[in-house]
Amino acid sequence: MTVRLQSDPFAPGDLLAAFCQGRRDVGAVVSFTGLVRADDDTVQALELEAYPGFTDQEIGRIADAAALRYGLIDVLIVHRVGRLLPGDPIVFVATAAAHRRAAFEAADQLMDYLKSRAPFWKKSVEVSGARWIEPRSEDYQDAQRWDDAPAQEA
Amino acid sequence: MKVLLFGPLRDAAGWRERTISSPPLSLAALKASLARDDAALREALDRPGVQAAVNKAIVRGDVSLAPDAEVAFLPPMSGG
């Protein structure tokens, strides 16, 4: 179980290859990579702020709970902080489980959490100036899908 | 005592981290003293959804503070 916040760029393929290395009990690895999206040409950059020691601890708590719920064998979460440009990989999540269903669902749930509730503060730097971003209501709804749902069979 | 501000709070105050040499005894007293010195920060701290963390754990309501506490004020989190 690894949670890493870093200002340096990462290569999703390298992370995935390393995560898959030397596994014998894992039948399924699911990975997700999120890129910084510019909906139009006005977004020049994103500035992502975390509280080191708190943000990673909170994400780790959620990752532990997901691991327990889905019976995961391993989880890797890498999140960029600092200034990011459109197209940059910003988040990487990989889940390893004996069977695919658990790995898919856990990755989906972790991403919903990361997008809506994880302790980050996000500023969008636009042509017209910079503004702080609040989570979209869809992100909240996505996260709520998991609140009362029973754990799935692996 | 170390005080940390994040997101819009940092912008409102113009600082991110401050060490306070004669620390207040409670969270409420700390907030009052920060607000007294800075109207923009006072307004930002009063906005809905601002939480406080003491030694990297979220607290609710008023709590007493040790002189070496790390207190962070956290505006609503945006997710990554």
pLDDT at A154: 41
Q: Which residues in chain A (105-124) have CB-CB distances under 8 A to chain B?
A: 114-123
**Total residues found in chain A within this entry:** 154
Which of A121, A142, A144 is the best residue to mutate to test the B interface, defined by the most B CB atoms within 10 Å of its own CB?
Answer: A121
Give me the CATH code for the A2-144 domain, please: 3.90.1170.40
For residue A65, the model assigns a pLDDT of: 96
Q: Give tens-digit pLDDT for B5-59.
A: 999 999 999 999 999 988 999 999 999 999 998 999 999 999 988 999 999 999 9
Residues A125-151, buried b or exposed e (16+ Cβ, 10 A)? Answer: beeeeeebeebeeebeebbeebeeeee
- B76 in contact with A, Cβ within 8 Å: yes
Delimit the domains of chain A by residue range. Answer: 2-144
Longest dimension (CA), chain A: 53
Residue B47, chain A, CB below 8 Å: the answer is no
The per-residue pLDDT for A139 is 67
Angle between helices A55-70 and A100-116 (to 10 degrees): 150
- Quick one: pLDDT at residue A143? 73
Joined together, the tokens standing for residue A68 give 């327990």
- State which fold the B2-74 domain adopts: Ubiquitin-like (UB roll) (3.10.20)
Over the stretch A113-145, which tens digit does the pLDDT of each residue have?
Answer: 999 889 999 999 998 899 998 766 776 677 777
Beta carbons of A120 and B79 less than 8 Å apart: yes
Chain B nearest-CA residue for A122: B78
pLDDT value, residue A3: 98
- Point out the residues of chain A with pLDDT beneath 50: 152-154
Q: Chain A residues with CB inside 8 Å of B8's CB?
A: 121, 132
What is the structure's pLDDT at A153? 44
Domain-wise residue ranges, chain B: 2-74
